[in-house]
Structures are given as C-alpha cells and as structure tokens.
Structure 1
Amino acid sequence: MTADNLVIGGMAAFSTVDYPQHLAATLFLQGCPWRCHYCHNPHLIPLQTGDEKITWQQAHKHLKSRQGLLGAVVFSGGEPTIQKALLPALQQTRAMGFRNGLHTGAPHLKLLEPLLPWLDWVGLDIKALPSDYENITTNRHAGPESWVAIAALQNAGVDFECRLTWHGALQSPDQVITVGRRLADKGVRRFAVQIARSDQMLNDSIGNGYLSAENRQRVEGTLMPYFETLHIRE
C-alpha cells in the first residue's frame, strides 16, 4: 500500500481554520463507516469518488509548490483513518516538512494507533456519550473506541482538541454539558461545540435543530470553567 492509493474526494488548497495557528492545505478523504444524521459531506461517505477526483500525485505536487508557505497538511473526511494509504501519505508530508493534522471520529482505535507517531495535531470528533452514539451515527457499535482514543492521544503526546457537533433535535443542552464535563474529567483541555449546518444534511427529516441564544449561552457559560479553551462555532 502506497500513498498513491489514497482516495481523495476534495482539497482546500489554503485554509486558516483547519489547523490551529497554522496555514494549511486540507485533503478530504473518501469513506466513512457512520451515517451521522447531520453529516454535511454525504458525498464523502462512499469509499469511491465520483467522476472528479484528486490523485495523490496531484495533491503532492501542490504541496511541494507550497513548501515554506504552508505550515501544515490536514487530512479530513469522511473518516480518513479507514484508508490504509493514509500512513504513507503522512510519512511523505512529514518528510516534506509539514505538520500533520487529522480530523477523525476514531471509530476504530487500531486504525488510529499506527498513525500517532506521524501526527502533530488531531481534531477528535466526540459525537455524544458512548451510550448515545447510535442516536447520532445510526451505528449501534459506535462510541466506546472514540472515547478511548482520548487516552491514546494523551499517552502519545499528540496535541488535540475534542469537538462535538450540536444539532438541537439530537441533543439537549444538558446532554452537551454532560459530554463536556465527562471530557474534562478525562483531562481534555480544549473543547469546541460546533453548531450543525442544516443547509446540507444526510437526513433532512431531523429539521434545522434550532438552538436558542439562551441555550448556547447556557452551555458556554456552564462549560467555560472546565477547559483552557472552549469555543462555540457556527
């Protein structure tokens, strides 16, 4: 397996938001084992792309032209860890002098662990409490390994942020607060609550999940003391 086998569904040549404090290029990898109701990239769920796809050689050429200009490469998805070609790709980007970032829900710890030596920062998607994952992902076996990934990242010394996507029809303010407190108990220092985007969702039937300003402020005000950084992101 080589990096040439990487199945890339899209690329953001320049991003100021995908890797903290660094300009980055972001590669969106195909494939995801979950079917989250609020997923706003449903085209990335299948492992194969449509007619238009980006090859690793094209991505590599772009990155080579941006050496010294960009600080990082972020592998997002989909769920990037399910692609075996991710490891050699990380090794190549590290050799090119880039910091490596990863956006993952960590559905399988055994797929994340070999990547840890090659990662500098991870955005870890925590969907809910482990017992509530099926309500979000529609997968009854989801949840426990995502939470175990927190300790794996801590033990490996990889910088990371936990983030939760909040859709009002799927989780109450109390549930979000409980998740945040549980994360803090596990030593998580950075937490972001991302408001679900309702303009393009896998399951439109759940509605827009309206969240009042009062509920947002309540979650932010309650959780702020628990973390070094807490963000509510639109």
Structure 2
Amino acid sequence: MKLTSRLGFALLASLLCAAGFGAIAVLVGTERIASFDRAIIDFWQSRESATLTNGMKAFTAIGSGIPVVVISIAIMLFLFFVLNHRKELILFAFVLAGSEILNVALKLVFHRERPSFHRLVQASGYSFPSGHSMGAFSLYGIAAFLLWKHISSRRGRTLLILVSCALVLAIGISRIYLGVHYPSDVLAGYLASGFWLTASITVYQRYMERAAERANGLRK
C-alpha cells in the first residue's frame, strides 16, 4: 500500500472514530443507551467468581499506574537505545500524553457519574469516557504501530496484533466487570483514543514523507 493510501486510510479511520464517539455521546446524553449498558453489565457480572474477579483486577491493574509507567519506559528505552529512533520516541510520548489530556478534558465536559451498583473495586472521578480504555488503546496501539515494521514474519506481526487487541479488550472488559464503568464509557474510550492515535499517526507519517522529499531534493 502506497504512503498516500495509508495516510488516506488513517485519516478516514480518525474521522470515523470521532463520528462514533459523537454518536455515543449523544446517546449517553439522551439516556438512550441505558438498556445496552445494563445488558452488557448483567452479562459480565452474572459470571462473577473469585478467580474471574482476581483476573479482572490484574487486567485493570496493568491498564494504569506503575505497570503502564514501566511498560512505557521500557518501550521508550528500546526505541532510543536499541532502534535509535528519536522521532518515533517523540511520537510515542506525544500519543500517550495527548490521550491522557484528552481523557481529562472529555471527562470534565461530560461529567458522567460512575455506576453505583455492585462495584467490586473503588474508583473516583467521572466515568465518561473510560481512562483505562483510552490509555490501553493508545499505549498498545502505538506500540503495535511502531514495532510492526521491525517484525519481518507474518506470524510475528499477527501475534503482535492479537496480543495488543487482547490486552486492550481485556482491560476494557475488566472495568465493566468490576463495576466502575458503563460499557458505553469503554466503547467511547476506544473511539476517542482511536481518533487521537490515527490522527497522530497521520500527522507523523505526513511529516516523515515531507522530510524524505526534502532529503531527496537535497541529493539531486
């Protein structure tokens, strides 16, 4: 796929994510998504067990706090010292920081309270969109993007995508199961982060394309 095609696809994906987030925000504001939220919550919480609860707590733990910091630092060190990719390091940090700022801003705009029924862990702050979901999507999404081209085998790339998707999905489900987020919070978090991630990648790819064009012009 040519670079211009990839840029067009990333831009389209960004716009679709933004539109999807807007649609969910409208449904949340008009309370037309309550039955959907309740159905998904009932599905997961009806399967409650000590083993599943411990597993969900583990997944929610790797979606914030020290685990995220450790994973992020490890990836940044790998990009800087092993791959010597300073521009990719900047992109990585930009995506994560921007996702966090965007999440805080959106929570302040929508002021949605967290679910108040059958909460298995404590959480503070507003509910919409899910910060864990946004953070996980941004972290593992940008990590997959940056590591993709350094993996030559199809099996390795497939494994990278599957692991990244599984972690993002598991972290989101854990927030629903533990009773601290509505499913619409999680879905909106994925879409908001998807918008930010694809928009950032589009800008980055365009910048790299122009840098390459300038370098080719100087060599002529």
Task: Give the TM-score normalised by structure 1.
Answer: 0.24
TM-score, normalised by the number of residues in structure 2: 0.25
Q: Which has the higher helix share?
A: 2
Q: Which has the higher strand share?
A: 1
Q: Which has the larger radius of gyration?
A: 2
